Amino acid sequence: MLGKRILLAAMIGLSITPFFAQDTKYPPQDEQIPGPPIYPERSRSCCNGLNRQEYAVKVFEEWLADIKHFRMERLIRAGYDAAQYSRPELKWTQSSFIQPQLMIQDRYFYDPVTHEYTVGRYLDDLKRRYGGTDAVLIWPTYPNLGIDNRNQYDWLRDMPGGLAGVRQMIEDFHRHGVRVLFPVMLWDQGTRDEGIPNWVATARLLANVGADGVNGDTLHEVPLAFRKASDATGHPLAFEPELSLENPSEALAWNNMSWGYWKYPFEPMVSLYKWLEPRHMVNVCDRWARDKIDNLQFAFFNGVGYESWEDIWGIWNGIKPRDGEAIRCVATIERAFPELLTSRDWTPHTPTLQYGIFASKFPGENETLWTIVNRNEYDVHGKQIEVPYEAGTRYFDLWHGVELKPAVEGKMAVLSFEVEARGFGAILATSHEADQKLSRLLSTMHELSQRPLSSFTNQRTFLPQHIVEIPRTKPAASAPPCMVRIPGGEFVFNVHGIEIEGGNAVGVDVQEPWEDSPRRFHRHRMYIDSFYIDRYLVTNAAYKKFLAATDYHPEDDHNFLKDWKDGTYPEGWGNKPVTWVSLKDARAYAAWAGKRLPHEWEWQYAAQGTDGRIYPWGNKWDPAAVPKLDTRRDLPPPADVDAHPKGASPFGVMDMVGNVWQWTDEFEGAHTRAAILRGGSHYHPHGSGWYFPEAFRLDEHGKFLLMAPSTDRSGTVGFRCAVDAE
């Protein structure tokens, strides 16, 4: 009986819930509010005796009243406090329309030869291709985070020049009028413990370098604790969660920005967060999309910004010329009217006269802006908007940079202009004379509009990569000491990248010399000449002999031999593989020894033989063949190089898997640079699937993004050498 009463109570509770919930016919769908159902039916009887224009206006007015009531009640229920949007220090967010995510490994951003940040070069490239940016989200962590126990803050500290260098780099962005954000990853709880809460660590570190904001990676909201910690430093940061807010009416109060993962139906949807708070800045993000027009049309319609992200974890998904020109034009207009675009009287879906043309109206004190999109796949000409006629009001077609002469029809002024297929429009109504600012805008847009967007190519291109040459060594007639001869022969090189994202899209992973594009999966039958390879990984003791013989010391020495002290390795570490050496440090040792690093296919051949086995010892995982996996937040040392003889390859090569990652080939593209790591390591932090994944299988490899030796050195990456055979 008690169970039945509980069930009945639950059923009653479920049945009455809607009466206590928000009363709206248009409930939000994630981050968006659906627009008015202006086109639900196409039959002649759809409009209840009204002509279609009258019907559209009636539906619009009912919809607008509904969502206004929804907004009012939602903010009352939240006890909404808009104080953060009135702070002068955070007002920049309200005009930050274009924001790329900038991977620190982007070759336009840093030059490892001159050891300089090239901020000007990076920004000039963006300006040339799509008109420039208002902010950058600088990304130093994922996907490399987790290859060792450096936490997210360590990766920022390890950037070239340390914190002083980062601070100077941010000042360079500021001199160009560009704001700088960094990410925070609350999922990073498996690497080194910072010893203080994330909000305190983030606020202090970013205040130290002079950053402007924080992107909350995978967060639905940046917690209020970050707002308080940031204010306590005296250097307030803006907060931008990645995902839709879990409590939008509350967290909206201190998250001045957000990303928008939106849907794109034919009829544009309305940004929930901007509707609740018109000063909130959304940067629409759709990083894997190859066509950006949907993103840009919905952003422009809502008067918000765009995440112009191209280097996606070292995978290039570049903005095409047509999209780039659309960004240039959209941003030019938005940057000219940030005050209007934050109007509290914003009216989305203000009625238009033609099918598929959608407009938002942003009224100001003496002027009004309309942002317009054409969702049709054809040009639309003629009458587009009608407004009450007011003597003395002038109208400008901002997109084409010309003044419009309205046709007066009764009490209405009718505006006619063209909007190209899947294109944009913008109208300004003003009672003022055109000042210098408006005149400059009209002149700029008139010049830009001489070429329609359709005249720019919409063809996607990937960025080719090339492998960095590994010069051959002097051929050896017999096996050098501690090296194993690998006989020449036919080999089926079969391997794939283990990137967490990107799927099988062209551009993922690397482009091998015989391939015409970068891709994740590689299979190639090849003949490999005989060569010699180190039986064991290069040890600390061997590397110390190299240093003693050459006095080698890298120019960028941050993290170089980080585990060593006073010029030597810890006691008992002589037979352990040397780590905290960059690719350049490893090559220097190899050159001194008369050797070279192996190509990846040579490494795999030496580990696998010719039978396609999964592991060096066979096809079944054997825990006794590898060191025990370390999952703690500290980083224990690797095992001795001869500690696991059961892990020997068919040719007798040791430690190919599971002790430390091993440097092999390097690949370069115009924007990206990466090294292929083989063998996996003993260390893997637990607690998140976003950490750098292991690749113990011989048909898998890791792609490690390269920036500079200071970031590239790792406590889990070592190397072995090869020598060519006669």
In tens, the pLDDT along 413-450 reads 999 999 999 999 999 999 988 799 999 999 999 999 99
CA–CA distance, 606 with 592 (Å, rounded to integer) = 23
Q: What is the pLDDT of residues 25-83, one digit of tens each?
A: 999 999 999 999 876 544 455 566 667 778 888 999 999 999 999 999 999 999 999 99
Distance CA 353, CA 54 (A): 11
Residue 112 has what pLDDT? 95
Mean pLDDT of the region 460-477: 95
DSSP letter string over 661-707? EEEEEEEEESS-EEEEEES--SB---S-TTSPPP--STTEEEEEE--
Q: Any residues with CB less than 8 A from the CB of 420 and at least 6 apart, and which?
A: 374, 379, 452, 453, 454
**Using CA atoms, how far apart are residues 144 and 297, in angstroms rounded to an integer?**
34
Sketch out the chain's domains with CATH numbers.
Answer: 337-456 (2.60.40.1180), 467-724 (3.90.1580.10)
First-last CA distance in the chain: 89
Taking the C-alpha atoms of residue 528 and residue 598, their distance in angstroms, rounded to an integer, is 12
> Which of 711, 708, 707, 714 shows the shortest CA–CA distance to 671?
707
Alpha-carbon gap, residue 307 to 262, rounded angstroms: 12
pLDDT for 247 = 78
Give strand ranges (E) for 261-356. Answer: 270-271, 281-284, 305-306, 311-312, 315-316, 347-350
Which residue, among 662, 631, 638, has the nearest Cα to 649 in the 3D structure? 662
Residue found under tokens 């194993």: 484
pLDDT at 8: 38
Does residue 398 have a pLDDT over 70? yes
- Percentage of the chain beyond pLDDT 90 is 91
Quickly tell me which residue has 């006691």 as its tokens: 571
Interval 308-326 mean pLDDT? 97
User: How high does pLDDT run on average in the chain?
Assistant: 94
Q: d(Cα 499, Cα 492) in Å, to the nearest integer?
A: 22
The predicted model gives 232-240 an average pLDDT of 98
Tell whether the model's pLDDT for residue 10 goes beyond 60.
no
Give the E-state strand segments of 276-356 in sequence order.
Answer: 281-284, 305-306, 311-312, 315-316, 347-350
**Average pLDDT, integer, range 393-418:** 96
Reading phi first (left if > 0) and then psi (alpha if -120 to 50, else beta), residue 48 is in left
**Rg of the Cα atoms in the chain:** 30
Containing 192, the helix (H) or strand (E) segment is: none
Range of weakest confidence among 11-15, 18-22, 527-531, 574-578: 11-15
CA 642 to chain CA centroid, Å, is 41
Contacts of 494 (CB under 8 A, 6+ apart): 522, 523, 612, 699
Tokens coding 267 = 């009829």
Q: What pLDDT score was predicted for residue 14?
A: 37
Q: Within 13 A of 459's CA, how many CA atoms are on the CB side?
A: 4
What is residue 48's predicted lDDT score, i.e. its pLDDT?
63
pTM: 0.94
Residue 79 to residues 20, 158, 244, 249, 676, Cα–Cα distance (Å): 17, 43, 20, 8, 53
Q: What is the C-alpha separation between 421 and 616, in angstroms, rounded? A: 58
The per-residue pLDDT for 591 is 98
Residues 495 and 510 sit within 8 Å (Cβ to Cβ): no
Query: How many angstroms separate the CA atoms of 117 and 707, rounded?
Result: 11
215-217-223 Cα angle (round to 5): 70
Tokens of 589: 């040792």
What does the DSSP 8-state code read for residue 455? Answer: G
Q: How far apart are CA 615 and CA 621, in angstroms?
A: 7
Residues 610-657: tens digit of each pLDDT: 999 999 999 999 999 999 999 999 999 999 999 999 999 999 999 999
- Cα–Cα distance for residue pair 202/204, rounded to 1 Å: 6
Rounded to whole angstroms, how far apart are CA atoms 372 and 350? Answer: 10
592-606 mean pLDDT = 98
* Element (DSSP H or E) covering residue 1: none
d(CA 386, CA 578): 74
pLDDT tops 70 at residue 103: yes
